[in-house]
Amino acid sequence: MSIHRRDALRLSGFAAAALAAPAARAQAPAALPDKPIRLIVPNAAGGVADLTARTVGQALSERLKQPVVIENRPGAGGIVAGQTLMAAPADGATLMVATNAHAISKSLFKSLPFDPIKDFAPVGLMGTFAIALLVAPNSPIRNAQDLLARLKTDPRNSNIGTISVGSTQNLAAELFKTTAGIEATTVPFSGTPALLTSLLRNDVTAAFEIVAPLMGQLKDGSLRAIAVTSTQRAANLPDVPTLQEAGLAGFDVTSWNAIVAPARTPAPVIERINRELNAVLADPAIRARLLEAGVEAKGNAPAALGQLMETEAEKWRAVIERAGIERQ
């Protein structure tokens, strides 16, 4: 082989290596800060959001090879948690659980220290969970059609119970009324125990409440679910029809938990966390654990979560305005 040919081959090899190096670097996963990742939960320990965060966080920690620490920051309708996230560096080391309450807050509060849509970067959905329309076990109402007939024929002696004004359950009741064209009174309670006590005493005709904490009572018959508010039947209540099946076309109230980051978090970091999050949610063992907590594991892309948050904010703005709910 001539000297010139050897030189040419050597140079071409250097050129190939130089071209390959950027490609290899591009394929390397985005780096996260070398410290524990904080996952802020805007609710107290033990609730659906907290259980979801702990189940997903533990598995996400194993995939990211660094600890994921759950930090509960309840209070003020998610404002405390949101402010904590806003104060954190936008480097992927601080994340927050977002729920449909964040989408609602944009229209529920007179002012917020942040924009719940623009100031948080969507990372990915974790899961959804059902809200059920409930009656007492001794109620003569057997299904949603019975309830609608009762509310239409005797609105003065009928009502619907929920927890606090502006909650997803409360707004689900308001959307139910406007969709069905009924004028029944919505009665808000301070919390689930007070709501269920009133329902079992037949002080309220029916109630909207999250299914997950009530599965024991639904299984033993001390409560009856006559419908769920989602577009599809809940995996943990497969025999309970949806309100769409009962004739309320287009009715959809689905509670969800997702992960968001500070708005300026680099896209490669968000994409990496999203990729690992979706891998976690595809694990059959994780899906089973979440379903035990009443949550159906569902992942998506950051852009899809962003679209969901915007759509939900607009939907609940319209419901709040129609119901005449004063901003808090």
pLDDT tens digits, one per residue of 43-70:
999 989 999 999 999 999 999 999 999 9
Confidence of residue 156 (pLDDT cuts 50, 70, 90): confident
Tell me whether residue 214 is in a domain.
no
Please determine, for residue 268, whether its predicted confidence score (pLDDT) is greater than 60: yes
Please determine, for residue 315, whether its predicted confidence score (pLDDT) is greater than 90: yes
pLDDT of residue 11: 45
In the sheet that holds 68-72, the strands lie side by side as: 68-72, 37-41, 94-99, 255-262, 120-129, 296-297
Written as six digits, the tokens of 261 are 């980051």
With contact defined as beta carbons under 8 Å apart, do 66 and 36 qualify? yes
Cα dihedral 214, 98, 122, 37 in deg (nearest 10):
-100
Tell me: do 173 and 202 sit in the same domain: yes
pLDDT digits (tens, 9 = 90+) for 25-43: 445 677 898 999 999 999 9
pLDDT of residue 27: 52
This prediction's pTM = 0.87
CA 191 to chain centre: 20
Please determine, for residue 3, whether its predicted confidence score (pLDDT) is greater than 80: no
> How far is the C-alpha of 17 from the C-alpha of 305, rounded, in Å?
39
Give the structural domain span for 162: 140-208
Confidence of residue 327 (pLDDT cuts 50, 70, 90): confident
Residues 6+ apart with CB under 8 A from 261: 85, 90, 92, 94, 95, 96, 120, 121, 123, 269, 270, 273
pLDDT of residue 212: 87
pLDDT of residue 17: 46
Tell me: do 181 and 116 sit in the same domain: no
Average pLDDT value for residue range 286-303: 95
Determine which of 28-32, 203-207, 222-226 has the lowest per-residue pLDDT on average: 28-32
* Residue (of 256, 259, 295) closest to 278 by Cα position: 259
With contact defined as beta carbons under 8 Å apart, do 80 and 315 qualify? no
pLDDT of residue 14: 47
Please determine, for residue 75, whether its predicted confidence score (pLDDT) is greater than 90: no
Tell me: do 179 and 102 sit in the same domain: no
Beta bridge partners of 5: none
Average pLDDT value for residue range 285-297: 94
* Residue (of 84, 87, 88, 77) closest to 112 by Cα position: 77
Q: What CATH number should be reported for the domain holding residue 189?
A: 3.40.190.10
pLDDT of residue 306: 96
Tell me whether residue 79 is in a domain.
yes
In the sheet that holds 224-228, the strands lie side by side as: 185-188, 159-162, 206-210, 131-135, 224-228
How many domains does one find in the chain? Answer: 2
Tell me: do 270 and 310 sit in the same domain: yes
Confidence of residue 21 (pLDDT cuts 50, 70, 90): very low
Q: What CATH number should be reported for the domain holding residue 304?
A: 3.40.190.150
What angle (nearest 5°) sits at the alpha carbon of residue 257, between those of residues 40 and 162? 105
Terminal CA-CA length for the chain:
84
Tell me: do 109 and 144 sit in the same domain: no
Tell me whether residue 171 is in a domain.
yes
User: In the listed set 208, 233, 267, which residue is the last one of a domain according to the structure?
Assistant: 208
Tell me whether residue 220 is in a domain.
no
For tokens 């009741």, name the residue: 173
What percentage of the chain reaches a pLDDT higher than 70?
A: 91
pLDDT digits (tens, 9 = 90+) for 123-144: 999 999 989 999 999 999 999 9
Written as six digits, the tokens of 168 are 């997803």
